[in-house]
Amino acid sequence: MRKPVIAGNWKMYKTIGEAVAFVEKLKPSVERAEHCEVVVGPPFTALRAVADAARGSKIAVAAQDLHWNKQGAHTGNVSPSMLLDAGCTHVIIGHSERRHDHGETDHQVNLKLKAALAAGLVPIVCVGETLEEREAGATDRVLERQFLGGFAGLTPSEFSRIIIAYEPVWAIGTGRTATPEMAAASHAVLRKLASKEFGEGNAAALRILYGGSVKAENIGKLMAQEEIDGALVGGASLDADSFLAIVNYPRN
């Protein structure tokens, strides 16, 4: 039985004050939420304050990126130990916005992933195809390339600590959600790769989140898919009520 994860990626939104107010509002409402893990991903500047506000609650804190080196001359970057120091337990790696805005490669995703694991952070690794790739029928091939490149050289035990987020690029911020069936089919491709590379047990336990225009109105149908183990939510995670409605997705 895989415990679902509902994670919010706040991207480049929220001041420290706004971020803390969000957590204070969400905190009491998720205290009894046993059905899923709840993670929020503030910008770097708000990590410490959010971690302090979330302390002792069910809310875990994710950074949105990290550098693979322990320290060094890397202007603008943040190391794994800095994230731990700021109170993070999770880190998002390889988001499509980083791949596209910053030219991040599968190899760099792999370096970041290994550094995160070595530091004891839980990586949420993003993969997903562009519209062009989907229309060219290349979705499965792209997922395979991202999987094999991103997860190269991991041991099965390292792999067992990873969460994957399938985020088709064409569904991010567009209001155009993948249908639950489309998402489930891509999740199945990823799970099959996981089984081949890291063993059946690890594949069965792997949590694969869907991301791309998830909202309170569509989360129920997405979560009804056996293959979908949660969501990585952008826009709809910015408002505490909207995020809470997603955390409390319809269950039977």
Binding stretches for ligand 13P (CB under 6 A): 9, 95, 167, 172-173, 211-214, 232-236
CB of 134 to ligand 13P, least distance (A): 16
φ/ψ of residue 64, rounded to 5: -100, -5
Q: Which residues 6+ apart lie within 8 Å of 82 measured at CB?
A: none
CB 8 within 8 A of CB 41: yes
- The SS3 of residue 63 is strand
CB 212 within 8 A of CB 177: yes
Q: 62 - beta bridge partners? A: 90
Active site residue 107: no
**Which amino acid is it at 144?**
E
* Euclidean distance between CA atoms 208 and 193, whole angstroms: 12
* Euclidean distance between CA atoms 26 and 238, whole angstroms: 11
CB of 52 to ligand 13P, least distance (A): 24
Residue nearest to ligand 13P (CB): 234
CB of 205 to ligand 13P, least distance (A): 22
> Of 23 and 165, which CB lies nearer to ligand 13P in the complex structure?
165
CB of 39 to ligand 13P, least distance (A): 11
Q: 124 - beta bridge partners? A: 92, 163
> Of 86 and 169, which CB lies nearer to ligand 13P in the complex structure?
169
Q: Which is nearest to 163 in space by CA: 203, 128, 122, 216?
A: 122
CB of 226 to ligand 13P, least distance (A): 22
Q: Which of 95, 97, 133, 227 is catalytic?
A: 95
* Euclidean distance between CA atoms 248 and 150, whole angstroms: 32
Q: 25 - beta bridge partners? A: none
Active site residue 95: yes
CB of 153 to ligand 13P, least distance (A): 25
Q: Which letter does DSSP use for residue 67 in this model? A: -
Q: Which of 129, 167, 187, 227 is catalytic?
A: 167
> Of 164 and 198, which CB lies nearer to ligand 13P in the complex structure?
164
Q: Which residues 6+ apart lie within 8 Å of 17 measured at CB?
A: none
> Of 85 and 239, which CB lies nearer to ligand 13P in the complex structure?
239
> Of 208 and 232, which CB lies nearer to ligand 13P in the complex structure?
232
Count of beta carbons in the 10 Å neighbourhood of residue 15: 13
Q: Which residues are catalytic?
A: 95, 167
